[in-house]
Amino acid sequence: MMAQTDSSETPLLEVLNLRVEFPTRRGTLVAVDDISFDIKPGEVLGVVGESGAGKSLTGTAVINLLEPPGRIAGGEVRLKGQRIDNLPQEKLRHIRGRQIGMVFQDPLTSLNPLYTVGYQLEETIRTHMNMSEGQARKRGIELLSEVGISAPQDRIDQYPHQFSGGMRQRIVIALAVCANPSLIIADEPTTALDVSIQAQIIDLLKRLCHEQGTAVMLITHDMGVIAETADRVAVMYAGRLAEVGPVQNVIKQPYHPYTKGLMGAIPTVGQKLERLTQIDGAMPRLTEIPSGCAFHPRCPKAFDRCDTERPDPIAVEESKVACWLYDDARVLSGETEQ
Amino acid sequence: MTDVLQDKRPSVQPSGPLVSVQGMSKYFDVSPPFLTRVLQGRPRRALRAVDDVSFDIPHGSTFSLVGESGCGKSTVARLLVGLYQPTQGEIYFDGSAVSQLKTRRHLADFQRRIQIIFQDPYASLNPRWRVRDIIAEPVRTHRLLPEGAALRKRVAELLDHVGFSNKDGEKYPHEFSGGQRQRISIARALAGDPEFLVCDEPTSALDVSVQAQILNLMKDLQKELGLTYLFISHDLAVVSHISDYLGVMYLGRLVESGTASDIFNDPQHPYTRMLLDAIPDLEMSGRKRIPVAGEVPSPMAPPAGCHFHPRCPFADARCREEIPGITESKNVRVRCHAVEEGRLTPEVLAEAAAART
């Protein structure tokens, strides 16, 4: 676990009231609704949620790679204090890859099948760093051996289809770290892989980021991966943040009823339970997000206020929880109980 | 290779297990085309997707198969429901050999008693049919009930079993979410009143909260209807939650099988140990997760001897040459020379763990 960074330190990435919309013929869909978080240098922030929670969109919105008609409709994204959400594409291209690296879920679609791995590595290195062809190739071979590919001097001239899934994901990671970015956005990097390979990839990401002090925004639906890797966790539900806090708190002692349900729903090895906790119903569609707190129709602890007013994140110890149960008035009158 | 267990198996008696698989193999012909073979002198090739697999599933229990992709677990599922014919070996269902079921009546009865739930709830339901017709299909196919009130009542009952109201039967599959569709698949599988359900990764396409709903439902139905499950998954946490018995597959071979609690508490085969080590630690106990070295080799060219030897820290010359037979060790059946020879003493294991960290 990484040492807790000083809270007065300026965050590497700040996201303030980010809102992503999709205009459609039947009205505007709000896919990411007013979320704020930050990532400190060298920190691993896990972003979890079920499908449709808007976690991948948050990742792509940070580097402004949203597919039209999706667009950032409000809020700010700041990298090292500088706004990047309103930069022209031309300038953003220098930030993507150079300062922010990306790792996507499917390693086959993020590599070009028509070029050798070496060509793709060299191209990326030379785009971002002032290097000659020979230097770039040397650096490429170094990177491949760093991500654990054996005989890199031979394999650098092979095509992506000649590598297995786990190997391809290693190459994608090599591409993401090749310009020493200060932030890597990893969107479900291990979802397509087997458990044994998953452990290898997580280990690799952790090691590289630790060595180079790179911050990671790790987007996944797998709580196990989060528990092992992240320093802090943001839990998303229906495009909103439900809870943000240190990983121990979120996993072991979640505050938000949704996080509690989510943790109870995960079976654990060696713990023989008759039934898993289940959250009835399903995540609402974007067209029919409930009023007030988006989770209230499924929430076992909902009361009338949840139906009408939308909760803002409320600080509870080190976490921030968007739930009326933790509103000051109720906490003071002793109404909440664990 | 002879199966050590065959003589002990009382499978032909009616009191035996519901499903018994003995020495089952499935080879796929992956030879180059005829002309290429003739002109370039290339030989025929066979892919051993399932290789000499034996296990029993007692009445009313859940047997799970785990393994990484390409290990042959889905092929076993397809063999059991009769979508593939085994190359070798035999499947006994309720005491009778499936390959001996020749008459249409016997086969139809077998097909009714054994049903399958697939992984992808989007691809396994016909988008042009109403849910009530999807659920009624097995009943109609096997002519179990006449059209009309009786059938409608049965469909309503099935919908109720999986937590839907009767009017949901009028809808089409696209109106439901992934978890709801999987419940429809379960209702369809139950329609013919089966005894044995083969569940091929039924929850891997679903989110955790929905997965919990499906797993709870499956457990409830098992208790209520006395169903027997073959559960296939790559998620060891899910498997440990649902299984009574467990089989671990690696490149077509069943390397370890026994009761789930025995295997999870005291795994014998080095591969099982590694798989269990690779599970993410949700308890955050600080246990260091030891990643498995290397990757699964191609099933087209599996290593000689024990398939696992290139990744195994305990492999020796014998492992590289000789296919391990089944050994009984601490209540589980293992295919491993090291276990058979008693080489895996606690000292050896501790040393290996220290070397890997």
| Whole-number CA gyration radius for chain B | 22
To the nearest whole Å, the CA of B229 is away from the closest chain A CA by: 17
Q: In CATH, which of 3.90.1010.10, 3.40.47.10, 3.40.710.10, 3.40.50.300 is domain A16-288?
A: 3.40.50.300
Interatomic CA distance for residues B299 and B49, integer angstroms: 7
| Residue A336 predicted with pLDDT over 60 | no
| Residue A252 predicted with pLDDT over 70 | yes
Interatomic CA distance for residues B176 and B173, integer angstroms: 6
**Closest alpha carbon to A235 in A166, A308, A323, A304:** A323
Residue B335: strand pairing partners: B326
pLDDT band, very low/low/confident/very high, at A6 (cuts 50, 70, 90): very low
Interface test with B, best of A168, A170, A196 (most B CBs within 10 A): A196
| Residue B64 predicted with pLDDT over 90 | yes
- Residues of chain B contacting residue A266, judged by C-beta atoms under 8 Å apart: 208, 212, 237, 282
pLDDT band, very low/low/confident/very high, at A204 (cuts 50, 70, 90): confident
Query: By the 8 A CB rule, do B71 and B249 touch?
Result: yes
Convert the pLDDT of each residue in B8-40 to its tens digit. 333 444 467 899 999 999 999 888 888 888 888
Domains along the sequence of chain B with CATH = 59-85+97-259 (3.40.50.300), 266-357 (no CATH)
Convert the pLDDT of each residue in B306-342 to its tens digit. 999 988 888 889 999 999 999 888 889 999 999 888 8
ipTM above threshold 0.85? no
Give the HSE-up count for residue A40: Cα atoms under 13 Å, Cβ half-sphere.
Answer: 15
pLDDT at A225: 87
DSSP state string for A73-140: EEEEEEETTEE-TTS-HHHHHHHBTTTEEEE-S-TTTTS-TTS-HHHHHHHHHHHHS---HHHHHHHH
Convert the pLDDT of each residue in A132-150 to its tens digit. 999 999 999 999 988 888 8
Convert the pLDDT of each residue in B284-295 to its tens digit. 665 565 666 777
pLDDT at A179: 86
Convert the pLDDT of each residue in B170-210 to its tens digit. 999 998 888 889 999 999 999 988 999 999 989 888 888 88
pLDDT at A331: 55
**DSSP code at position B354:** H
- Please indicate whether, in this complex, the C-beta atoms of B280 and A224 are within 8 angstroms of each other: yes
Q: Note every long-range contact of A311-314, with CB atoms under 8 Å and residues 24 or more positions apart, other chains counting.
A: A313/A36, A313/A241, A313/A244
- Residue B62 burial by Cβ neighbours in a 10 Å radius (0-12, 13-18, 19+): buried
Interface test with B, best of A169, A194, A222, A287 (most B CBs within 10 A): A194
Query: By the 8 A CB rule, do B163 and B217 touch?
Result: yes
pLDDT at A265: 87
Q: What is the mean predicted confidence (pLDDT) over A168-172?
A: 89
Residues 247-276 (B) with a CB less than 8 A from some CB of A: 261, 264-265, 274-276
Interatomic CA distance for residues B214 and B179, integer angstroms: 7
Convert the pLDDT of each residue in A39-71 to its tens digit. 999 899 999 988 888 888 999 999 888 888 888
To the nearest whole Å, the CA of B101 is away from the closest chain A CA by: 38
Q: Where are the domains of chain A?
A: 16-288
Convert the pLDDT of each residue in B80-111 to its tens digit. 998 999 999 999 998 889 888 888 888 888 88
Q: Average per-residue pLDDT in chain A? A: 86
To the nearest whole Å, the CA of B208 is away from the closest chain A CA by: 6
Structure tokens at B140: 């109609």
Convert the pLDDT of each residue in A215-225 to its tens digit. 999 999 888 88
